Amino acid sequence: MEEELIGIKNSVVSLILDSQTTEELEEIRIQFLGRSGKLTELLKGLPKIPLERRVEVGTLANEVKKSIEEAIEQKREELSKTKFQSKKEKIDITNPAILPEIGHLHPLTQILYETIDVFKEIGFQTVDGPEIETDYYNFEALNIPKNHPSRDTQQTLYLDTRKSIANPGEIILRTQTSAMQGRVMEKTKPPLRVIAPGKNFRYEQVDASHSFEFWQLEGFMVDENVKVTDLLGTIDYVLKKLMGDEIKIKFATTNFPFVEPGIDTYIECTVCKSKGCPFCKYSGWSEIMPSGMIHPNVLETAGYESSEVSGFAFAIGLSRLATLRFGMEDLRLLTNPDLRIIKQF
pLDDT (tens digit per residue) in 86-119: 455 567 778 888 888 888 899 999 999 999 999 9
For range 300-327, the mean pLDDT: 92
Most confident of 42-56, 89-103, 119-133, 277-291: 119-133
What's at 150, amino acid-wise? S
Q: What is the pLDDT of residues 128-138, one digit of tens each?
A: 999 999 999 99
CA–CA dist 291, 301 (Å, integer)? 19
In 206-334, which residue ranges form alpha helices assigned H by DSSP?
228-243, 296-301, 318-325
For range 78-93, the mean pLDDT: 65
CA–CA dist 247, 325 (Å, integer)? 11
Q: Where are the domains of the chain?
A: 2-86, 107-342
**Average per-residue pLDDT for the chain:** 86
Query: Parallel, antiparallel, or unpaired for β 125-126 and 192-201?
Result: parallel
Residue 209 Ramachandran class (φ > 0 left, ψ -120 to 50 alpha, else beta): alpha
pTM: predicted TM-score of the whole model, two decimal places: 0.67
For range 283-307, the mean pLDDT: 94
CA–CA dist 294, 262 (Å, integer)? 9
Q: What is the pLDDT of residue 303?
A: 94
Q: What is the pLDDT of residue 85?
A: 52
CA–CA dist 167, 163 (Å, integer)? 10
CATH superfamily membership of 107-342:
Bira Bifunctional Protein; Domain 2 (3.30.930.10)
Q: What is the pLDDT of residues 160-203, one digit of tens each?
A: 888 888 888 889 999 999 999 999 999 999 999 999 999 999 88
Q: Is 261 helix (H, G, I), strand (E, B) or coil?
A: strand
Which neighbouring-strand residues pair with 249?
267
In the chain, which residue ranges form alpha helices assigned H by DSSP?
2-18, 22-33, 38-43, 51-86, 107-121, 135-138, 150-154, 180-187, 228-243, 296-301, 318-325, 339-342
Q: What is the pLDDT of residue 82?
A: 67
CA–CA dist 293, 143 (Å, integer)? 13
CB 137 within 8 A of CB 183: yes
Q: How far is CA 311 from the centre of its chain?
A: 36
Q: What is the pLDDT of residue 95?
A: 81
